[in-house]
Amino acid sequence: MSTIPPDDTMPEGDDFVAAEYVLGVLPEQERRDAVRRIENDPEFARLVANWQRQFDPLNEQFQPVTAPNYLKGQVDQRLFGIDSGRVATGASFWNSLAFWRTVAVAALALVIFNVSREYVQRQAGSAPSQLIASMASDTGPLRSVAIFDDKSRKLKVTLVAGEIPQGKSLELWLIAGKDAPVSLGVLKSPKITEFAVSTPVAAKLRDGTTLAISVEPVGGSPSGAPTGAVVAAGSVSSI
Amino acid sequence: MTPEGISELISRVALRDRAAFDVLYSSTSAKLFGVCLRILGNRSEAEDALQDIYVKIWNKADRFAVSDTSPISWLVAIARNHSIDVLRARKPAAAELEKAVGVAEPSPNPEQSAIASGETKRINECLDQLDTDRASAVRGAYLNGESYDLLAIRHRVPLNTMRTWLRRSLMKLKECLER
């Protein structure tokens, strides 16, 4: 380590205090004083914001680490006092959506958000009874989210990454336990396709059931069983 | 995740939309947990901090609209500042001083530098114009939450010398960034 030249002239001024606050080097009390000034002194707050903007690009170096499932339940508990039942199912839901955290380029989120907003508006106030599945594969670019509304018996599916291949169809399958895959139909649009689900099939649509998407000839598999590559799959969770 | 997507989520959280909050959590918690872990250095404190951070995000979401910053920067700033507050509030500071002796100085990971975006490149270029010691002190402070006390011990100089030294580095850094 090289020696640090002693220097007795310390540069002074609010701009340095602002920079020190952003860097995080200040001791506890000075840090608290700075926070108070940010609240009450717009000029100081502006200096802090300027420094923060300069350092923001370093944020890229914070590597994402998946947080434990139960934390979100505890946050909800603190904010909304949600009972433990909701917390428990919530936890398994977040667990199954590990891909949400790992997909780096989630231009997806907006789409997911629009879909989820739609179902949430519908359930406003009532007990949640939604099933959701995120389908992906380790090898391909295709990612899809499916949301089932128990009341309307509609399964809504959207592609959040990838597209329907030229001259082919993407077909959605339900796989319950060791049963043979059941076709739910082909995706009509990369945006949102609504599948009507019959009562017997809906009964199979529950936690742990797999949804999968395969590439098929236009219009869907001629045989009633998947014939092409499975390009995305995921299990159903309740929220 | 697009910045527009996160912005919209935060705006909806400000309107008390819990579904938006769920999606915001699922799409940003890994990044923020990474911030907590790096600064606090242990999981149990990082987990507590992450909870506090999302409670804050819920409560402060209405401030995002007037903050004139990118949404992910806004979120990371909340996480960083909270983690540093927790770090500073530790009593006694023994754990932190231990870290000063035990932990190697942070250096830019070559892989990360290589893939860094233009903006990151810019701040790294400016940091690289400082002496190595000084650049690593600035990086260590920002990324690991190191305090003046800890930096002074590591560099074996009096506190005031450390402060002078860092402020001078910040002055140079600013000149370079504004060039």
Percent share of chain A, pLDDT over 70: 76
- Give the C-alpha separation, A109 to A143, whole Å: 12
- Give the C-alpha separation, B39 to B96, whole Å: 11
Note whether B9 contacts A101, CB cutoff 8 Å. no
Question: Residue B102 CB: number of other CB atoms within 10 A?
Answer: 7
pLDDT given at position A153: 82
Residues 6+ apart with CB under 8 A from A104: none
Region class of A81: left (phi > 0), else alpha (psi between -120 and 50), else beta: left
CB contact at 8 A, A211 and A135: yes
Per-residue burial over B84-101, b = 16 or more CB atoms within 10 Å of its CB, e = otherwise: bbbbbeeeebeebeebbe
pLDDT mean over B99-112 = 49
For residue A92, pLDDT beyond 80: no
Note whether B2 contacts A67, CB cutoff 8 Å. no
Residue predicted with more confidence, B174 or A105: B174
- Give the C-alpha separation, B137 to A6, whole Å: 16
Give the distance from residue A198's alpha carbon to the nearest chain B alpha carbon, in angstroms. 28
Residue predicted with more confidence, A229 or B37: B37
pLDDT given at position A3: 52
pLDDT given at position A200: 84
pLDDT given at position A49: 95
Q: pLDDT-based confidence at A115, cuts 50/70/90?
A: low
Note whether A110 contacts B4, CB cutoff 8 Å. yes
Residue of B nearest to A21 (CA): B81
For residue A27, pLDDT beyond 70: yes
For residue A42, pLDDT beyond 60: yes
pLDDT mean over A183-210 = 86
The helix or strand, by DSSP H or E, that contains position A191, with its residue range, turns out to be none
- Give the C-alpha separation, A177 to A191, whole Å: 29
pLDDT digits (tens, 9 = 90+) for A120-158: 554 444 444 567 888 877 777 787 888 887 778 888 888
Instruction: Determine the longest span between alpha carbons in chain A, in angstroms.
Output: 84
For residue A95, pLDDT beyond 50: no
Q: pLDDT-based confidence at A93, cuts 50/70/90?
A: very low
Same fold, B1-89 and B93-179: no
For residue B103, pLDDT beyond 80: no
pLDDT mean over B21-48 = 94
pLDDT mean over B130-141 = 92
Q: Mean pLDDT over all residues of chain B?
A: 86
Residue of B nearest to A80 (CA): B18
pLDDT mean over B95-102 = 54
Give the distance from residue B57's alpha carbon to the nearest chain A alpha carbon, in angstroms. 11
pLDDT given at position B33: 97
Note whether A26 contacts B133, CB cutoff 8 Å. no
Report, at the CATH architecture level, how domain B1-89 is classified.
Orthogonal Bundle (1.10)
For residue A99, pLDDT beyond 50: no
For residue B85, pLDDT beyond 90: yes
Give the distance from residue A225's alpha carbon to the nearest chain B alpha carbon, in angstroms. 34
Question: Domain residue spans in chain B?
Answer: 1-89, 93-179
pLDDT mean over A232-237 = 84
Query: Considering the domain A106-238 in this protein, what is its CATH number?
Result: 2.60.40
Q: Mean pLDDT over all residues of chain A?
A: 78
Q: How many CB pairs under 8 A join A and B?
A: 204
Give the distance from residue B84's alpha carbon to the nearest chain A alpha carbon, in angstroms. 7
Residue range(s) of every CATH 2.60.40 domain in chain A? 106-238
- pTM for the full model? 0.60
B42 burial (CB, 10 Å; 0-12 / 13-18 / 19+) is exposed
Residue predicted with more confidence, A87 or B134: B134
**Chain B contact probe: residue of A75, A86, A101, A123 with most B CBs at under 10 A:** A75
pLDDT given at position A48: 96
Name the one residue in this structure whose structure tokens are 């370079």: B176
- Give the C-alpha separation, A214 to A228, whole Å: 6
Query: Considering the domain B93-179 in this protein, what is its CATH number?
Result: 1.10.10.10
Residues facing A132 on adjacent strands: A147, A237
Most confident of A38-42, A90-94, A215-219, B97-101: A38-42
Residues facing B172 on adjacent strands: none
pLDDT given at position A235: 83
3-state secondary structure chain B: CCHHHHHHHHHHHHCCCHHHHHHHHHHHHHHHHHHHHHHHCCHHHHHHHHHHHHHHHHHHHHHHCCCCCCHHHHHHHHHHHHHHHHHHHCCCCHHHHHHHHHCCCCCCCHHHHHHCCHHHHHHHHHHHCCCHHHHHHHHHHHHHCCCHHHHHHHHCCCHHHHHHHHHHHHHHHHHHHHC
pLDDT given at position B49: 97
List the structure tokens of A53.
């903007």
